[in-house]
Amino acid sequence: MKLNFALVLGFFALAPVSAFAQNDITAVPNRPTVSTTAQPVQLGVLETEWGVDAASSHQDLNGLLKFGATTNLELRFANNPITADSGAHGFGDVSAGFKYRFTGDHDRQPSIALMYMFKAPTAGNLLGSGYPDHSLMLLVSKDLGKHHFDYNLIGNLLGTQDGWDHNFLNALAWSHPIVGNWGVDGELSGVTRSSAGLPGSAQFILSETYNASSRLVFDIGMMGRLTGPIPHAMFMAGVTYSVGELYHLRRRQDDGVSATGTSARIPKDIEPPPTACGCLSASQ
């Protein structure tokens, strides 16, 4: 458990990187909705999300790490370091994958992306299924004035004792600024009955967001059950933070190396401090 909290702190230990990053970084939150925006994080930007979910029968701490490998390619690593279900508690599942954007949002054309995620069953069969899963997602996003819409169609290939099961998830989210740095989100989502007979469900989410800065966004809201075997209500709160632009930091370091391969002297008052590793180990 101490290791899990150390991983959380490790993300924020990367904060010194931000002092050397570009000033025009803008966070791209995926939370608190089920749906994911087609927009990737900016090129070279490392961004993290942390949140808590709390219902009478389920609680968890969830994390997501995103990195803009290219202009259109985003690498993703997700984990629930703490999960509790009906009295049982422990380590949650780990997921890794990528998102690739094919088109950007301009004129009448929406932003369209595909995302793939692989879930490793690190939670075991008490807090998870105990089997690996694959998810392939179509992500469509569009801005209409100040209104932003995200639509997701997700196909899940679910590991079982007898082989593979599958179901589909649809989610439609809307967001809009309201006053000052505050905004509002709303979403409807539902998952179909699986081919092996696992029941489907449907829910709604209502939440507020607060942009403390272009790189730091807080959210708070609730999920409500419409149908299916899910909690009747769940409290959610979290934060999205753009840690820094790592390619820019690397360029700054390279600029300090002379043509002979020796480091040029950098004045002490502007020398970048060493940064802690914010990588997640096998632990949104």
99-142 pLDDT per residue, tens: 999 999 998 999 999 999 999 988 877 777 788 999 999 999 99
Examine the pLDDT at 28 and tell me if it is beyond 90. Answer: yes
Report how far residue 60's alpha carbon sits from residue 69's, in angstroms, rounded to the nearest whole number: 29
Of 12 and 242, the structure prediction assigns the larger pLDDT to 242
Report pLDDT for 249: 66
Strands, DSSP E only, in the chain?
Answer: 45-54, 58-68, 73-85, 88-90, 94-103, 111-120, 133-144, 147-160, 163-179, 182-191, 201-213, 216-227, 233-245
How far is it, in rounded angstroms, from Cα 232 to Cα 71? 40
**pLDDT above 80 (res 182):** yes
pLDDT of residue 250: 62
- The confidence score (pLDDT) of residue 196 equals 81
| Of residues 54 and 279, more confidently modeled | 54
Confidence label for 255 from pLDDT (cuts 50, 70 and 90) = low
pLDDT band with cut points at 50, 70 and 90 for residue 254: low
Report which of residues 255 and 196 the model is more confident about: 196
**Mean per-residue pLDDT of the chain:** 83
- What percentage of the chain reaches a pLDDT higher than 90? 63
pLDDT at residue 150, as a whole number: 98
| Choice between 7 and 213, residue whose per-residue pLDDT is larger | 213
For the segment 262-279, what is each residue's pLDDT rounded down to a tens digit? 333 333 333 333 333 333
Q: Check whether 94 has a pLDDT greater than 50.
A: yes
pTM exceeds 0.85 for this model: no
**Chain position carrying tokens 């990053």:** 21
pLDDT at 281: 37
Domains of the chain: 24-243 (2.40.160.40)
Task: Check pLDDT > 80 for residue 9.
Answer: no
| Phi, psi for residue 109 in degrees, rounded to 5 | -90, 130
Alpha-carbon torsion 31, 234, 223, 178, what sign?
negative
Residue-level pLDDT at 64: 97
CA 110 to each of CA 113, 120, 148: distance values in angstroms, whole numbers, following the listed order = 10, 32, 11
User: Which range among 31-40, 55-64, 172-181, 213-222 shows the weakest confidence by mean pLDDT?
Assistant: 55-64
pLDDT at position 105: 94
CA-based torsion, 176, 186, 80, 195: positive or negative:
negative
Greater model confidence, 250 or 174: 174
Under the banding of pLDDT at 50, 70 and 90, the label for residue 82 is confident
The DSSP symbol for 17 reads G
Least confident stretch, 38-52, 158-172, 250-264: 250-264
Which of 202-216, 241-255, 260-274 is the least confident region? 260-274
